[in-house]
Amino acid sequence: MIYTCYEMIRDCRADRAEGWRYFVANYVPAIRKLLARYSPGSAAGGAALERILVALRKPDSPLFQHLDPAPERWFVAGLRQSVLGQLESTAAVMEIDLATVAAALEPLTLVEKQTAWLETMAYTPQETAVLLRMAPATAEKIREKAAELVRGKVDAWRRTMLADNGAALGREAAAARGAECLAAKIFLDVLDGRATWRGREEMEQHVTRCWHCIDHFCRMVEVVELLRGAQPLGGQEAEPFLKLLGIPAEKRPVWKRWVG
């Protein structure tokens, strides 16, 4: 029998140990990657990871409330938002708001806007080039162009302004969902090459004007990347986390121990 993300959500909601074991083994690696990117200082000690896991385990954790026949990527998109929502804001004061970013970057094309936005998500031009399948030099050039446009709109500009204010900008964009905004599935269809050209054109007309959707698309790009080549934790690696969450480790039959 194949145990999927769907069964995991069902079992975690019912607080069954197998659900939590699967969650720890398969999604702690994704949470670690998110922490390394969005909270680089906290990743080393593991305290942030523990705090997040304990919060997700609580019965009212919204992450496990939706039991749509959810493909794994929808679950991980929710996981990403839960993890980032529990990180403390890095910037003490917000130096630039979404309206200013939107006004500054208005002349850019959609791909250029996505390239610029991934800077708020702490992606270097090189990493961005991989995510958006473009040449690194192209990504760098777009970042330069975007930086100049932002510079023209603010008083105290510095090169790391978008990245430094990324958490706050991301929260603002995520909250700015409108009636016309697209569902995650549409972005995933585009990323998988399943969307029709016509569907894609309509999408672009909205998305290029909408920073909620630009952010949402970039988040889905990140989710796809998080799952690419992800290795589940081995039994020993998972053990401390299961202990933390009060989940009994799986009793493996003797013959299985011999095999590995």
What are the residues binding Zn ion (CB under 5 A)? 181, 210, 212-213
Q: Sort residue 58 into left (φ over 0), alpha (ψ -120 to 50) or beta.
A: beta
Closer CB to Zn ion, 49 or 213, in the complex:
213
Write down the least CB distance from residue 119 to Zn ion, Å: 20
Closer CB to Zn ion, 143 or 212, in the complex:
212
3-class DSSP assignment, residue 260: coil
Q: Following DSSP, what letter does each residue of 58-83 receive, concatenated?
A: STT-GGGT--SS--HHHHHHHHHHHH
> CA torsion 55→118→199→5, rounded to 10°?
-30
Write down the least CB distance from residue 216 to Zn ion, Å: 7
Burial of 98 (0-12, 13-18, 19+ CB in 10 A): buried
Write down the least CB distance from residue 142 to Zn ion, Å: 21
Q: How far apart are CA 37 and CA 225, in angstroms?
A: 13
Distances (CA, A) of 8 to 103, 109, 236: 43, 40, 20
Closer CB to Zn ion, 163 or 213, in the complex:
213
- Longest C-alpha distance within the chain, in Å? 68
Location of structure tokens 């929710």: 78
Write down the least CB distance from residue 175 to Zn ion, Å: 12
Closer CB to Zn ion, 140 or 204, in the complex:
204
Closer CB to Zn ion, 26 or 120, in the complex:
120
Write down the least CB distance from residue 151 to Zn ion, Å: 26
